Amino acid sequence: MRSIKKYSLENPSQFKNQLLAWAQQFEDIIWLDSNNYAQQYHSYDAVLGVEAFTSIRTDYDNGFDKLKEYQEQTADWIFGYLSYDLKNDVENLVSKNSDSLDFPDLYFFQPKKLFLLKNNVLEVHYLRMVDDEMEEDLELIRTFPKTIDLSQHQESPCGRVKISLRITKDEYKKKVNKMLAHIHRGDIYEANFCQEFFAKDSCIDPLQTYFHLNDISTPPFATFLKMNDLFLLSASPERYLRKEGQKIISQPIKGTAKRSDIKDEDEKMAKDLKNDPKERSENVMIVDLVRNDLSRTAVKGSVTVEELCEVYSFKQVHQMISTIVSKIDPETSPVEVIKTTFPMGSMTGAPKISAMQIIENLEESKRGLYSGAVGYFTPTGDFDFNVVIRSILYNETQKYISYTVGGAITAKSDPDKEYEECLLKAKAMREVLEGIV
């Protein structure tokens, strides 16, 4: 049981900075921030869960069954992530590529202390064992710095972060051409091909890095995750899956274009993206895949496309987003809905299993948490998860920093243009880590 109290906030954006700074004392932290982005499906402006009371940490073997049992037993708020490699639990697949990050395949925890922000109202949920700390914690939070100074790049105590490429541009193009050969042969229609950028023997200030990344991008699904010495700093623009009662919502992104500082030019770039036949075909293929995935748990005839190929603008890029919804039976397990749609179509391809097999053979790094999902379950079984893209992953003990970017390869893909798109998506992470302005 939880003690719940509500408070009015005079300056919510200021309080968010103080709250996340205060949270750094805990070994388990998940912070989810919408950055006040206007969304149709939206519960909170920001959510923080800290200090694990119970937790589950496992590899992919029977991962979803273990999560289902944990979610049903706690019947409480639980926060965590699903790594891409849980694909091996869903299908007869393997993950053999190199992994220098060592994140568990699945991790969730039940926070002792939970903060939910919406507009200027703060809702605090503390487990009864710690509810006597609530007022004291709030007083302490208000003593933290009200603003974060991002005017100067803070050089890492390990020295300047130097980013390396896992594969060269020429190798990337060769691999894309191999993927195109699969497409022309009819093995797949589309696949998401990714490459890793990394730094060894390097360290960062995770909180400062997150604030900087978030400030550059201000995305609707930003995440700061800490699990002991493992960190995810994410500026994700994409929702994977949300459950509101019997309604399921999926919002895949496929299609990317640059932004311009010149208004007319910027509007033209957005319009060109919306009308680009290659980008639209990418998006429509994934919409069909998501419709098929959702139909596995949907009430018959309830899968519908609410939005098709709508262009949304973010600080760094324009993105093409579609919204697909379904209705499930009240008795359907929330974890089952996730299991039957995971990994998300926007990060795999079509047909899904063939695409994942080809991805595994052509990529050089294990994806791990990248292209997985971070989010939460409520006590009533509702949930909301993002897609882990535009993200920095950091193993503090191993001094290893990583970010991965990718794009959809279709029959119309040009390897040079695909490489340019990867660099565009990587721009914010590189700028944050290398201090490039």
- Residues designated catalytic: 238, 254
**Which amino acid does the sequence have at 329?**
D
Instruction: Detail the DSSP E strand segments found in 61-105.
Output: 78-82
Q: Name the token pair of 262.
A: 């010149």
**Quick one: CA torsion of 84, 190, 91, 363, rounded to 10 degrees?**
-50
Among 22, 17, 21, CA closest to 33: 17
- Could you count the other beta carbons within 10 Å of the beta carbon of residue 382? 15
Residue 217 CB contacts under 8 Å (≥ 6 apart), including other chains: 235, 237, 314, 315, 316, 390, 428
Whether residue 56 contacts residue 46, with contact meaning beta carbons closer than 8 Å, is answered with no
Tokens 């995440």 sit at which residue? 223
Whether residue 57 contacts residue 83, with contact meaning beta carbons closer than 8 Å, is answered with no
d(CA 322, CA 261): 26
Tokens 């063939």 sit at which residue? 354
Among 410, 102, 432, CA closest to 234: 432
Residue 308 CB contacts under 8 Å (≥ 6 apart), including other chains: 283, 284, 287, 322
Helix (H/G/I), strand (E/B), else coil: 229? coil
Exposure string of 242-280, with b = 16+ CB inside 10 Å and e = fewer, is: bbeeeebbbbbbbbbbebeeeeeebeebbeebbebeebb
